[in-house]
């Protein structure tokens, strides 16, 4: 089981595969007193059956659906402790403390994929996150907005800012920086929300555009739909978000170009695959030329037919004489 100190060090920083177009530096915050102690966060409790393959890959089964269960290198001890707990007790169904991770796809008709990053497992502790939340309850603190790759609104969880992280990304390569600052966009249903989710409007100027509100809510996880549903407010929505880190356009462009250059060129699925294919045309059998070759044979037979007729005429007078 993770200690409270370890939870505080890792809370609100799930590793994901989605980013938003932003700048490298943290956003200025004029109302720091309002946001003091506020952080980006996505953490909750799930109850499900844990299975581990021979290769070490873990899956979490909830309500008949399988979700990948992974861990970071610094939380390897928590994963090993979970495996030992299952081995010793013979009980595969465990109450886990997790970060949700969502992967969205460019095709809007393709559903997102949800997985969970293991933080720890609960054994009935009297305090901490496990005591604050019921099964399938999550604390979500992030930006309330729409993103292009998701039909419904999301809560966007970004990397919390601190000086050590800023120093790290200043020295890191673009690919490392983009990976480190990736955000998690968690789909959430919230009817009659006090603030509307922000939606980018390309027809408006930057000044008219506005910005997403920072919300702090408790949400229920819906396994049958792989998304979250608003349950209660933890604090009133804020106009300004706490400081956070996000990937810049320049770094993301550099990473995309590097990926394209490193990609092997695909061979065409149709066309010539053999350079000698050009010389293979004569292999096709042609039947048309054979027709004209047969015609002369027919014409050669005609003279013989004429000769027979002439010979027959010559024989007719002899018949009459007889």
Q: pLDDT category, 213, cuts 50, 70, 90?
A: very high
pLDDT band at residue 256 using 50, 70 and 90 as cut-offs = confident
Average pLDDT, the chain: 79
| Residue 251 confidence (pLDDT) | 82
**117 vs 16: CA distance, rounded Å:** 10
Residue 283 in 3-state DSSP? Answer: helix
More confident residue, 5 or 202: 202
Give the DSSP per-residue string, 48-102.
Answer: EEEEE-TTS-EEEEETTEEEEEE--GGGHHHHHHHHHHHHHH---EEEEEEEEEE
Q: Map tokens 């979970």 to a residue.
A: 82
- Give the distance, in angstroms, between the CA of residue 217 and the centroid of all CA atoms in the same chain: 25
pLDDT confidence of residue 12: 36
263 has a pLDDT exceeding 80: no
What are the strands, taking DSSP E only, across 223-285?
227-238, 244-245
Whole-angstrom Cα distance, residue 322 to residue 317?
9
- Residue 88 CB burial class (10 angstroms; 0-12, 13-18, ≥19): exposed
pLDDT at 70: 94
Write the pLDDT tens digit of every residue in 38-86. 999 999 999 999 999 988 899 999 999 999 999 988 889 999 999 999 9
CA nearest to 20, candidates 104, 91, 78: 104
CA distance 91 to 50: 9
C-alpha 131/C-alpha 53 separation (Å) is: 30
d(CA 18, CA 105): 9
Mean pLDDT of 133-159: 96
> Phi/psi class of residue 312: alpha, beta or left (left: φ > 0; alpha: ψ in -120 to 50)?
alpha
Reported as a single tens digit per residue, the pLDDT across 168-181 is 988 988 888 888 89
Phi, psi of 95 (to 5 degrees): -95, 110
Do 19 and 247 touch, CB atoms closer than 8 A?
yes
At residue 6, does pLDDT exceed 80? no
245, pLDDT greater than 50: yes
Of 196 and 266, more confident: 196
């Amino acid at each position: 089981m993770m200690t409270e100190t370890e939870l505080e060090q890792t809370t609100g920083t799930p590793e994901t595969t989605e980013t938003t177009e932003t700048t490298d530096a943290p956003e200025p915050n004029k109302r720091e007193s309002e946001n003091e102690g506020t952080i980006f966060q996505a953490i909750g409790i799930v109850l499900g059956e844990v299975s581990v393959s021979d290769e070490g890959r873990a899956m979490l089964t909830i309500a008949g659906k399988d979700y990948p269960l992974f861990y970071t290198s610094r939380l390897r001890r928590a994963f090993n402790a979970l495996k030992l707990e299952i081995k010793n007790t013979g009980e595969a169904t465990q109450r886990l403390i997790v970060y949700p991770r969502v992967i969205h796809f460019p095709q809007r008709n393709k559903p997102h994929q949800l997985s969970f990053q293991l933080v720890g497992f609960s054994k009935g502790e009297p305090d901490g996150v496990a005591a604050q939340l019921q099964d399938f309850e999550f604390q979500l603190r992030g930006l309330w907005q729409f993103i292009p790759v998701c039909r419904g609104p999301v809560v966007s969880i970004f990397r919390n800012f601190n000086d050590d992280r800023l120093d790290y990304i200043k020295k890191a390569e673009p690919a490392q920086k983009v990976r480190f600052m990736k955000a998690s966009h968690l789909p959430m249903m919230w009817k009659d929300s006090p603030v509307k989710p922000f939606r980018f409007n390309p027809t408006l100027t930057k000044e008219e555009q506005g910005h997403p509100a920072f919300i702090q809510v408790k949400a229920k996880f819906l396994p049958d739909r792989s998304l979250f549903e608003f349950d209660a407010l933890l604090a009133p929505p804020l106009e300004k978000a706490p400081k956070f880190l996000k990937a810049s356009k320049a770094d993301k462009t550099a990473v995309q170009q590097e990926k394209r250059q490193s990609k092997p060129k695909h061979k065409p699925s149709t066309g010539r695959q053999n350079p000698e294919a050009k010389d293979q045309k004569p292999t096709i059998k042609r039947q048309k030329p054979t027709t004209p070759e047969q015609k002369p044979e027919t014409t050669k037979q005609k003279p013989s037919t004429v000769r027979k007729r002439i010979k027959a005429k010559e024989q007719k007078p002899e018949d009459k004489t007889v």
